[in-house]
Amino acid sequence: TLELFFFNFFSEPRAWSSLSSLQERNTSALFDFMRSRRARRRLLATIYASRLLDYDEQRHMAVFWAKCEAGTYIRTLCVHLGLVLGCGAHMQELRRVRSGNLGERDHLVTMHDVLDAMHVYDSTRDETYLRRTIFPLELLLTGFPRIVVKDSCVNAICYGAKLMIPGVLRFESGIEVHQEVVLMTTKGEAIALGKTCVHSHFT
């Protein structure tokens, strides 16, 4: 996900340069912090990239952009940034600008759009407006490698059966072992997500 967030410093940052050095030292994973969902289970959340967009010296407010793993606690990140800078900080506002393949500039509609589209469909039975507001599931899965399966195997897979090689019709090249893939019908409909047991490097 891509997050755009605003946060306030409790005082003027005394170690503002340390934030830049922190970004330089950690290019692939800017900020890993521990978060606990259960008392005995601790997980790592990764910030893949970040960028300081603006800083108001008079109001001690900053605008920050981050590309992070799903489930990241941005509020905790703001607190930790304040600790790194030696002044303390808290989150003022959070805005999600992208999640997966969906961004704020495309494929997003309001609930009013959905209500209007449903009203048009109920009144005229015209699906045009409805199809502009409700997108197919496959839009979210375009980043996964695809495996096209035979029509005779679709029903068994839907009931939990494993996909064997005889049921495969086509597959993308470059698929590795234990890679997450999407199983598709010959019509381009998504069936399920799965992990591969073999690779696709056949000679």
With 0-12 / 13-18 / 19 or more C-beta atoms within 10 angstroms meaning exposed / middle / buried, residue 28 is: exposed
Q: Is it the case that residue 33 has pLDDT exceeding 50?
A: no
The predicted pLDDT at position 14 comes to 55
Q: What is the pLDDT of residues 83-94, one digit of tens each?
A: 878 888 888 889
The predicted pLDDT at position 10 comes to 57
pTM (two decimals):
0.60
Alpha helices in the chain (DSSP H): 17-25, 74-85, 111-124, 128-133, 151-158
Of the listed ranges 30-34, 70-74, 102-106, 170-174, the one predicted with least confidence: 30-34
Q: Is it the case that residue 19 has pLDDT exceeding 90?
A: no
Domains of the chain: 2-102 (3.30.2350.10), 105-135 (no CATH), 139-195 (2.30.130.10)
